[in-house]
Amino acid sequence: MVLLILAISCQTDPDWKNHALPDQRHRDLMVLSGDWDVTLSIWSDPTAAPIESPGHASLTSILDGRVLAIDMHAQLSQQAFHGLGQMGYDKLRDAYYFWWVNSTSTTPLFLTGEYDGEGRILILRGETFDPTTKTPIQVRMEVYIFDATKFTSTTYLELRDGRQLKAIEFNYTRPANLDE
């Protein structure tokens, strides 16, 4: 009932209508819509080379351009990997958000953040949990959009001793157009 009343007031209040409409920050994210080839790199030991795997991701604009849905598939060490997420901009909180779930964990990841001072790197922060100690670990994800054909998402974990561990990196490139 509360949601229904809120939905009705959103239709009549000019401020709510403004908050409900996508703006330039949403449109900037939607340029990532489409199919992508992905190289997934995972570091479990910072002194060793990462495990790398090719994959594919479909990024889709949903809810009239308010949210970017992510559907990724890859092979990790002979096992199928499937990840789902969403990225968007919350006008009320004045913050970008990202959530992620995948086939290697039952723990969802929720991050929020903003662009760096130069507007080049989207920096999102949140926390996950150490599966061995079940204690929180701080997470930082940096999304760098090079252009409409390439972007990178890198996730860092803050270890208990304060060191930053580069944990996961997704390198996205648009597949070559076969019609050309």
Domain count along the chain: 1
Q: What is the pLDDT of residues 10-66, one digit of tens each?
A: 666 677 777 788 888 898 889 999 999 999 999 888 788 998 999 999 999 999 999
Q: What is the pLDDT of residues 70-123, one digit of tens each?
A: 999 998 888 899 999 999 999 999 999 999 999 988 889 999 999 887 778 999
Within a domain: residue 150? yes
Within a domain: residue 179? no
Strand partners, 122: 115, 143
Number of other CB atoms surrounding residue 78 within 10 Å? 5
Within a domain: residue 16? no
Q: What is the pLDDT of residues 138-173, one digit of tens each?
A: 999 999 988 889 999 999 998 878 888 899 999 999
Within a domain: residue 123? yes
Greatest alpha-carbon pair distance for the chain in Å reads: 58
Within a domain: residue 159? yes
pLDDT score, position 161: 82
Within a domain: residue 65? yes
CA distance 159 to 127: 12
Q: What is the CATH number of the domain that holds 142?
A: 2.40.128.20
Within a domain: residue 33? yes
- Reduced 3-state DSSP string for 135-150: CEEEEEEEEEEEECCE
CA distance 104 to 30: 27
Within a domain: residue 2? no
94 is in which domain, residue-wise?
A: 23-173
